[in-house]
Structure 1
Amino acid sequence: MSADISSKLNRLLSSQPLGVVLCSSWLVENGYSLDLQQRYKKSQRFESIGAGALIRYGDHVDYLGGVNAMQTQLGLSLHPGGKTALGLQGKAHYLELAPKHVQLFGAHGEHVPLWFKKQDWSVNVKYMLSNFLPAEIGLTEIPHKQFTVKVSEPARAIMECLYLAPKSQSLLEAYELMEGLNNLRPASVQKLLEACNSIKVKRLFLYLAEKANHDWMQYLDLSSVNLGSGKRAIVASGVYIPKYQITVPKELESME
């Protein structure tokens, strides 16, 4: 390997942390041609984990290393959300030491790379692509290994849970999650409620927060939040909540 190629390799190794995927297209954009990438693979400096993706040879990369690459190199809004984001921030009502299921949320129309979809991350990854919330708000960065990953803040994460309810997310569990969110920032909640375009999510969020008797509720200005009109039957048969015009499971309404 020539001195110039070796120097470029050293710059790459020093600029990118261990544990992340390197996207081939991003490498090309930064001066590492496909031919050069092949040389690095032949010299066992890098190895392929699918078409268009490399990792350092022998490196252990988990799904968050893939998410980091999609966020920082490909510019995707895909991020851990819902229960996954709450768990990563210690906000789940029970914490799995080794989660088996992961929820990734992103903007409608985004394409998840095949290398990420086909890779065995040792977890079952579920994708939800939607525009019910703007892609750029309600996110925070958390440290992982030697890098950071954008995930949903708790307020956005519980809204993502409610977006999946009741088909893919139990409302009873959503309430248990909401009970633990007693220190949400009112300004962040306000911004999310105003930007959210799902009437169901907003009504359920306010109902559960009120039921949990959270103090931060008193600082919200609901006059600027569009809660729509008309009734919403969240479940086929249940208890009607006049204030929010929603029908919720009887078991949920009876929970203390």
Structure 2
Amino acid sequence: MNTARASKLNKLLSTQPRDIVLLSAWLAEQGYSLELQKQYRKSQWFDSIGTGALVRCGDQLDYLGGVYALQAQLGLSVHPAGKTALALQGKSHYLELSAKKAQLFGSASEGLPLWFKKYDWGLSVDCKLSSFLPPELGLVDHEHKSFTVKISSPARAVMECLYMAPKSQPLVEVYELMEGLNNLRPAGVQKLLESCRSVKVKRLFLYMAAKAGHQWLDYLNLDKVDLGSGKRAIVPNGVYISAYQITVPRELEAHV
């Protein structure tokens, strides 16, 4: 490899974190042509992990290294969400699940590239695409190895759990997560509630917060939150909660 190419390679290796995916299209935009990338692979500096996706040889890649590429290189809003985000912040009672499954959320207009869906991340990765919340709202930085990714804040994560409930997320389990969130910032919760497009999520969130006795609930201005009209049956044959006009599972209302 000539001096110019070696210098360019050194720049790439020194400016990009380890253990991440590097996308061919993004590399080309940075001045690393497809021919040059081919030379890097031939010289065993990089391996291909799928069409248009490379990883530095010897790196220990996990799904967060793939999420980094989705966010930093493709500009997607896909992020660790729900119980996964809570576990990453040490706020989930179900930390053991984080080693078996990762829950991602992204906007309805987005989709995971084929290389991400086909790669074996060593765990099950589920990605829910929805625009019930604005893509940029309620995300926080999470440092992982030598890089940083955006993940859901605790309040957004619980709302994402509620969005999936009760079909794929037990409500009693979400309530147990809500119980631990006694120090949420009211201003952040207010913005999420005002921006949320799901009446079900908003009513369940407020019901659970009240049931858990969280003091931050007193500082919210619910006059600015659209809770819709009419009764909503979250489950059949449950208990009707008149304050929020929802029918919830009997085991949830009885949970202490």
Q: TM-score, normalised by structure 1?
A: 0.99
**Aligned-partner SS, 2:96:** coil
Cα contact 1:83–1:103 (8 A) shared by 2: yes
The residue type equivalent to 1:23 in the other structure is L
Structure-2 residue corresponding to 1:90: 90
**Aligned-partner SS, 2:44:** coil
Structure-1 residue corresponding to 2:78: 78
Deviates more, 1:228-237 or 1:93-102: 93-102
How many angstroms does 1:68 deviate by?
0.5
CA distance in 2, matches of 1:20, 1:66: 6
Structure-1 residue corresponding to 2:106: 106
**Aligned-partner SS, 1:133:** coil
Structure-2 residue corresponding to 1:34: 34
CA distance in 2, matches of 1:186, 1:43: 54
Q: CA separation of 1:163/1:98 partners in 2, compared to 1, >3 Å: closer, same or farther?
A: closer
Deviation digits for residues 117-151 of structure 1 (CA, Å, limit 9, x no counterpart): 00000010001000000001100001100001100
Return 5+ residue gaps in structure 2 as ranges.
Answer: none
Structure-1 residue corresponding to 2:3: 3
Q: How does 1:190-209 map to 2 (within 5 A)?
A: 190-209=190-209
How many aligned residue pairs are there?
Answer: 256
**Aligned-partner SS, 1:96:** helix
Cα contact 2:232–2:245 (8 A) shared by 1: yes
Structure-1 residue corresponding to 2:43: 43
Deviation digits for residues 167-192 of structure 1 (CA, Å, limit 9, x no counterpart): 01000000000000011110000000
Q: How does 1:1-256 map to 2 (within 5 A)?
A: 1-96=1-96, 99-256=99-256
**Aligned-partner SS, 1:240:** strand
RMSD, matched Cα:
0.8
CA distance in 1, matches of 2:61, 2:99: 16
The residue type equivalent to 1:139 in the other structure is L
The residue type equivalent to 2:200 in the other structure is K
Q: TM-score, normalised by structure 2?
A: 0.99
How many angstroms does 1:94 deviate by?
3.2
Return 5+ residue gaps in structure 1 as ranges.
Answer: none
How many angstroms does 1:111 deviate by?
1.9
How many angstroms does 1:58 deviate by?
1.7
Deviation digits for residues 38-66 of structure 1 (CA, Å, limit 9, x no counterpart): 00000000010000100001211100000
Cα contact 1:106–1:128 (8 A) shared by 2: yes
**Aligned-partner SS, 2:150:** strand
How many angstroms does 1:97 deviate by?
7.7
Cα contact 1:93–1:180 (8 A) shared by 2: no
CA distance in 2, matches of 1:217, 1:100: 33
Amino-acid identity (%) = 67
The residue type equivalent to 2:247 in the other structure is T
**Aligned-partner SS, 1:55:** strand
Q: CA separation of 1:84/1:98 partners in 2, compared to 1, >3 Å: closer, same or farther?
A: closer
